[in-house]
Amino acid sequence: MAQVDAASNVSDYDRFRELFTRRMSVRDLRADPIPDDYVEKILEAGRWAMSGANSQPWEFIVVREEQIKQQLVEAYVQENSEFIFWMEQTRLPALRHPQFQVEGDPAEQWEHLRNRLGAWGQAPVLIAILGDGRRQWGTVLGALTFGRHQSHLTDALSNAATLMHLAATSLGLGSQHVTIHIQEPFKRVLDVPDLLMIHHILPIGFAKIDRKPTVRRPLADMVHYDRYDRSKYMSNQQIVDYLYSLRGKTMAAYHAYRQHGRADE
């Protein structure tokens, strides 16, 4: 039985911790080219992600062509973001996502805001993360359990994305998780077959701004031992109060982005 090198393991963890605490979502990336081997290293990280029954349902589209990037941005702003913007306006103002908290006439504010939402299109490389649900047939049928809002497919794609974001950070690059809510316009731009899904788009490049402090809940608030600690269970009112507090901590970062560019958690 091989001996465990405790000192080496701690050192490895310390390096890993430095990596995952340094990672951040960067909304403003320089257009400067990045080395091709950096892109390949990021893709390689995604290839080694976990998936149900090792079905490996992911595929990646690497986009460098400016015309295609701009078409993706247009789809994001005109279809995806406008839908989200008006959805957010139905919530209490203080609970809206900071990006969509506006004052005055929402229609006028949307026209003002929409020009800032596609900054990620300036990144030298975009990676579209695709999922082929047919590969999920390799795992148990219970992967589509009733009552769950995710499946082994989305779990696997999230695993791949996490490793790719960490790989980008390890290479000194910034990255962002561009969530796709309405897939059809993006599929048309990228000629993605109907049976595949677009999970999200990952822009990568060198960041324009320095890392900012991030907000994380204390570990003690989210860890339970042996059984769920009911004293940590939050009532609906406590959840709302928590969201108010969270918005208060993140609004400054979003205001700074609107003026100078953005990096946040």
Q: Where along the chain do its domains lie?
A: 23-264
| CA distance to 46, 104, 190, 213, per residue, from 27 (Å) | 21, 25, 22, 15
Q: Give 125's DSSP letter.
A: E
Three-state SS at 203: strand
User: Distance between CA 165 and CA 204 in Å, rounded?
Assistant: 9
- Tell me the whole-structure pTM to 2 decimals: 0.85
| CA distance to 126, 139, 140, per residue, from 47 (Å) | 17, 18, 21
pLDDT tens series, the chain, 265 aa: 456 677 777 799 999 999 999 988 888 899 999 999 999 999 999 999 999 889 999 999 999 999 999 999 999 999 889 988 999 899 888 888 887 877 788 888 888 788 778 889 999 999 999 999 888 888 777 666 555 555 788 899 999 999 999 999 999 999 999 989 899 999 999 999 999 999 999 999 999 877 777 788 999 999 999 999 999 999 999 999 998 888 877 766 565 555 554 444 4
Three-state SS at 197: strand
Superfamily of domain 23-264, CATH level 4: NADH Oxidase (3.40.109.10)
Rounded to 5, what percent of the chain is helix, strand, coil?
Answer: 55, 15, 35
